[in-house]
Amino acid sequence: MEDKNNLIVYCEYDEGRIADVSLELLTKGRQLATRLGCRLEALVLGDKLDGIENELFPYGVDVVYKVQDNRLFPYTSLPHSSVVTTLFKEIEPQVCLMGATTIGRDLGPRVSSCLHSGLTADCTSLEIGDHTDAAKGKEYKDLLYQIRPAFGGNIVATIVNPECRPQMATVREGVMKKEIFDANYKGEVINLDPDNYIDPASLVVKIIDREIEQSKVNIKGAHIIVAGGYGVGSKENFDMLFELADVLGGEVGASRAAVDAGFTDHDRQIGQTGVTVRPKLYIACGISGQIQHIAGMNESSIIISINTDPDAPINAIADYVITGSVEDVIPRLIKHYKKNSK
């Protein structure tokens, strides 16, 4: 196989381990690379990378590029983009995937701008397919289909980047599933000399202090989610959702409209540009069910919708529909579960 034009995943590294989102992308990347007949490559930058390849190979990685240097951890924009762009100019990957995390969304646009190639943010699905440009009368084989909900209304857009390379996309954590490809898979390790990749001029930003705090909200891991939308109406009414979640042993999620209205925190946003969840039970309260929201929760096992509008789009994917107002229904649910859980 060629050492050029492969599929590469930028792997986020923190305190000795690789971020879940990167492993999820390697899982997806393996399928795409097989379909393309190219190698799956991983790029890791950090300070202590000894043996890190052993965490990556089981995902079917053929090549791990390692750049080990104290100056590459913790992450800062310039040195990382300097390494990534220098390497990409050499190996000319056809596809590059990154997590749509605070790091990926900081690095991706910079790399895209430097290499003059488009970047599709927050993809919900990635596939390989052909494309015909009718205007130019040109055929393109095996392009990356970058799929994400389009703005406004319930349309899903498939975006292709026919001419420029790499074809770049970011995907949020939890959108793809992480799965071991072959526990015994072995690939090649390529150690890159940091001095050839870190532009000295990129070292201008100094981190003077670092404070680490665990996120308090864990909606990704919750089995039961009570999610509130704009229809919940107020911050006070959201307290009812917290009470119900408490009684059920679940977490509270929200639509973007609810977050934008200030009913609850941004960390709780579910959907294309929030968190993707797959709980056993999802109770959607006053949520209309726009495509960007559905994208983040339609793989829930059971969906209950509570909405005043019997025709709300969310009802089409709900297993149970309660037509009524949040103010009326939620207190009754709380009362019911309190009584029956004793």
Partner 1 sequence: MGLRIIVLAKQVPDTRNVGKDAMKEDGTINRAALPAIFNPEDLNALEQALQLKDAHPGSTITLLTMGLPRSAEMVRESLYRGGDDGVVLTDRPLGGADTLATSYSLAQAIRHMGEFDIIVGGRQAIDGDTAQVGPQIAEKLGLPQVTYAESIQVADPAASGRNRQRQCRRLPSPQRPPHPEVQICRDAQREGRSARRPPGARRCPSLPCHQGVGREGD
Per CB under 8 A, contacts with partner 1 among 19-78 are 74-78
Buried b or exposed e, range 95-104, using 16+ CB within 10 angstroms: bbbbbbbebb
* Binding of residue 313 to partner 1 (CB under 8 A): no
* Binding of residue 305 to ligand FAD (CB under 6 A): no
* Binding of residue 229 to ligand FAD (CB under 6 A): yes
Which of ligand FAD, partner 1, none sits in contact with 92, Cβ below 5 to 8 A by type?
none
Q: Give the range of 59-67, 106-114, 176-184, 278-286 binding partner 1 by CB under 8 A.
A: 106-114
Q: Measure the CA–CA gap between 280 and 222, rounded to whole angstroms.
A: 9
Which of partner 1, ligand FAD, none sits in contact with 77, Cβ below 5 to 8 A by type?
partner 1
Q: Measure the CA–CA gap between 13 and 22, rounded to whole angstroms.
A: 9
* Binding of residue 255 to ligand FAD (CB under 6 A): yes
Closest CA to 187 of 39, 43, 49, 83: 39
Residue showing tokens 């103010």: 327
In the complex, least distance from residue 106 CB atom to partner 1, rounded to whole angstroms: 5
Contact 318, 335 (CB under 8 A): no
Contact 130, 144 (CB under 8 A): no
What does DSSP say about strands 156-159 and 167-171: parallel, antiparallel, or unpaired? Answer: unpaired
* Binding of residue 208 to partner 1 (CB under 8 A): yes
Q: Measure the CA–CA gap between 263 and 276, rounded to whole angstroms.
A: 20
Radius of gyration of the chain (CA): 22
Closest CA to 319 of 300, 294, 339, 342: 300
* Binding of residue 308 to ligand FAD (CB under 6 A): yes
Contact 290, 258 (CB under 8 A): no
* Binding of residue 82 to ligand FAD (CB under 6 A): no
Output the 3-class SS for 235-285. HHHHHHHHHHHHHHCCEEEECHHHHHCCCCCHHHEECCCCECCCCCEEEEE
Q: Which residues pair with 17 in a beta bridge?
A: 14
* Binding of residue 269 to partner 1 (CB under 8 A): no
Window 276-305: contact mask with partner 1 (x via CB under 8 A): --------------x---------------
Site for ligand FAD (CB under 6 A): which residue of 40, 49, 103, 326? 326
Site for ligand FAD (CB under 6 A): which residue of 36, 40, 258, 322? 258
Structure tokens given for 129: 């397919």
Q: Give the range of 1-9, 108-116, 204-212, 305-313 binding ligand FAD by CB under 6 A.
A: 305-313
Site for ligand FAD (CB under 6 A): which residue of 83, 96, 287, 303? 287
Contact 312, 325 (CB under 8 A): no
Which of ligand FAD, partner 1, none sits in contact with 103, Cβ below 5 to 8 A by type?
partner 1
Q: Which residues bind ligand FAD (CB under 6 A)?
A: 151, 229-231, 233, 255-258, 269-274, 286-288, 290, 292-293, 296, 306-309, 312, 325-327
Q: Which residues bind partner 1 (CB under 8 A)?
A: 74-78, 81, 101-103, 105-106, 108-110, 112-114, 116, 118-119, 121-122, 151-153, 155, 204-215, 230, 257, 260, 266, 272-273, 290
